[in-house]
Chain A
């Protein structure tokens, strides 16, 4: 099969190592002045796309992010990892607050058609919303097959063989291209962008468009009523020996 055009979705999220704080008015979490980075699962998707290009399965890797201006930094990071060009779908203010997987998948599906993509790579979930939906929804809207939670992807002619991480172990499926794949943690180890590549990425093109340009309605019927702290656990006690531990657990009837 001729080399494919890959579309990769990336999301800018609060860095995985940050301890988040809920806003006192319970409308969300504090994001101002908090370190953000590319969602770890998206990094893996970008890495896989770049590897597919290095293996000559793909001739172009197009990276997409939906959100405010700062998303361009996330796109730049992907460009520095080896993606060819970027598309920033600008969504701001109230629209961004209600932007969920359904809306993003509509954007991704419209872009897939516009860009004539053969394969869409996404992370299996974003570590902020923890929805784990966008890839599945994008595949549904396009009527393409889906290879979710992928730990291995092999291109064989017009098919993809995907090994998936499922509850009892692993399963292998075969998908007809075009298809959507979402990456699990063990798909690969993302590379670090080197300084020369970061410099080169500055010259790569990022197109800015709006959902309207794509004819996509991003209204949402899902409303966030409140965001709260989870119940805190009460402080525990330290025991001195394994013997004490076993007797404590017996005392409270746990063993």
Chain B
């Protein structure tokens, strides 16, 4: 288990090993009653690194398909299932009492979820109810009580140690591999859900439909910024994205200008991505944008301003007019 196997960590007092044998982590599964959200697989990998048993809580209005999916995920020992109409819309007010009741029964040492909108909404509410500090968006686990996370828009790495009895945290999906969805054989068990809080109600949603890969898990991401000048011009990026099977993202400027919907925003306050290839088109590279993409394996920048800060992090930079360069690239990939 990480440090413990290294030569320096071999001489661990027996008492600590004894305690660690009883670690158990609850992973809150994110899903839409049909499919598991991929970030849950990254959270499971993080949970496995803690060394103890990994349990997964699947709560929703319709859980059977998701439970079947989770039961095959490697490393999950047990699935706790709570099916109830009060979980419609996955409201934090309804899920928190369930998690607290489950925790009371099983006494977890760790409770976590992916740092998505779902996890960010729910995890702190659970932590406050347990009177513990939550640790957001961790990028590394150094020990069962020591975590690394970024602060100041990714411009500093902060290592924190929790003295709380239960560690409650959210996991940055791009910092942990996805757990394998084959070979697991978790058993499932129903857990009872406390009566509903009834202070909030899910009314509806309007989701952006797209055939392209999901932004946070795509291998290639092409993002556009203010330089695209209009929403219509984003078609240039969609055409290139289709050739590369890439997802399309955007800078805040492009979202604020109404070129694309907000859920495409990459950055400190949007989505964090770390694809194999990130192509930034007409994006200057503000601190807040870099926070969301600078862990990409290869970064390409296409910008007509040679002074744009994006070139300081780009592996390959092309100083050119995007309205010429992007269609050229699309044409070259057609060959």
- Chain A residues with CB under 8 Å of chain B are 14, 16-17, 19-20, 22, 29, 41, 100-102, 105, 124-125, 127-134, 136-141, 143-146, 148-149, 151, 161, 164-176, 179, 184-186, 220-230, 233, 235-243, 245-246, 248-249, 252, 254-255
Residue of A nearest to B325 (CB): A242
Residue of B nearest to A253 (CB): B276
Q: Would you call B271 an interface residue if the criterion is a C-beta within 8 Å of the partner chain's C-beta atoms? A: yes
Q: How many Å lie between the Cα of A127 and that of B200 in the bound state?
A: 28
Q: How many Å lie between the Cα of A130 and that of B154 in the bound state?
A: 9
Q: Which chain A residues border B22 with CB–CB below 8 Å?
A: none
Question: Could you say which of A139, A146, A173 contacts B201, with CB atoms under 8 Å apart?
Answer: A173
A220 touches B133 (CB 8 A): yes
Q: Which chain B residues border A149 with CB–CB below 8 Å?
A: 117, 120-121
Q: Would you call B110 an interface residue if the criterion is a C-beta within 8 Å of the partner chain's C-beta atoms? A: no
Q: How many Å lie between the Cα of A29 and that of B75 in the bound state?
A: 38
Q: How many Å from the CB of B72 to the closest CB on chain A?
A: 24
Q: How many Å from the CB of A228 to the closest CB on chain B?
A: 5
Q: How many Å lie between the Cα of A217 and that of B325 in the bound state?
A: 59
Question: Could you say which of A14, A184, A246 contacts B152, with CB atoms under 8 Å apart?
Answer: A14
Q: Which chain A residues border B297 with CB–CB below 8 Å?
A: 254
Question: Which A-B residue pairs are the 3 nearest by beta carbons?
Answer: A221-B163, A137-B128, A136-B124
Q: Which chain B residues border A242 with CB–CB below 8 Å?
A: 318, 320, 324-326, 328-329, 332
B128 touches A136 (CB 8 A): yes
Residue of B nearest to A22 (CB): B156
The 25 listed contacts between A and B (C-beta, < 8 Å) are A20-B156, A29-B151, A129-B151, A130-B136, A131-B124, A133-B124, A134-B124, A136-B123, A137-B125, A140-B124, A140-B125, A148-B121, A149-B120, A161-B203, A172-B204, A173-B89, A174-B201, A174-B203, A179-B199, A222-B164, A225-B146, A227-B159, A237-B316, A238-B318, A242-B332
Q: Which of B42-50, B51-59, B205-213, B223-231 contacts A (4 or more CB under 8 A)?
A: B205-213
Question: Could you say which of B133, B150, B151, B288 contacts A221, with CB atoms under 8 Å apart?
Answer: B133
Q: How many Å from the CB of B221 to the closest CB on chain A?
A: 12
Q: How many Å lie between the Cα of A248 and that of B315 in the bound state?
A: 11
Q: How many Å from the CB of A107 to the closest CB on chain B?
A: 13
Q: How many Å from the CB of B40 to the closest CB on chain A?
A: 13
Residue of A nearest to B288 (CB): A16
A222 touches B163 (CB 8 A): yes
Instruction: Describe A's contact surface by its main secondary structure.
Output: mixed
Residue of B nearest to A234 (CB): B315
Q: Which chain B residues border A228 with CB–CB below 8 Å?
A: 156-159
- Using known A-B contacts A19-B287, A130-B137, A173-B202, determine if residue A137 contacts B151 with beta carbons closer than 8 Å: no
Q: Would you call B24 an interface residue if the criterion is a C-beta within 8 Å of the partner chain's C-beta atoms? A: no
Number of A-B contacts (CB under 8 A): 266
Q: How many Å lie between the Cα of A172 and that of B132 in the bound state?
A: 29
Q: How large is the interface on B (under 10, 10 to 19, 20 to 34, 35 or more residues)?
A: 35 or more
- Using known A-B contacts A137-B124, A170-B205, determine if residue A185 contacts B156 with beta carbons closer than 8 Å: no
Question: Could you say which of A102, A171, A246 contacts B128, with CB atoms under 8 Å apart?
Answer: A102
Q: How many Å lie between the Cα of A22 and that of B123 in the bound state?
A: 29
Q: Would you call B178 an interface residue if the criterion is a C-beta within 8 Å of the partner chain's C-beta atoms? A: no
Q: How many Å from the CB of B297 to the closest CB on chain A?
A: 8
Given contacts A140-B128, A227-B158, 13 further A-B contacts (CB under 8 A): A17-B287, A101-B134, A127-B153, A131-B124, A133-B127, A144-B199, A149-B117, A164-B117, A167-B117, A171-B203, A222-B133, A223-B160, A236-B314
- Using known A-B contacts A102-B132, A227-B158, determine if residue A167 contacts B202 with beta carbons closer than 8 Å: no
Q: How many Å from the CB of B94 to the closest CB on chain A?
A: 10
Q: How many Å from the CB of B332 to the closest CB on chain A?
A: 5
1/0 contact string of B212-246 vs chain A (CB within 8 Å): 00001000100000000000000000000000100
Q: Would you call B14 an interface residue if the criterion is a C-beta within 8 Å of the partner chain's C-beta atoms? A: no
Q: Would you call B187 an interface residue if the criterion is a C-beta within 8 Å of the partner chain's C-beta atoms? A: no
A225 touches B160 (CB 8 A): yes
Residue of B nearest to A40 (CB): B269
A19 touches B155 (CB 8 A): yes
- Output the residue of B131, B199, B208, B294 with the most chain A CB within 10 A: B199
A236 touches B161 (CB 8 A): no
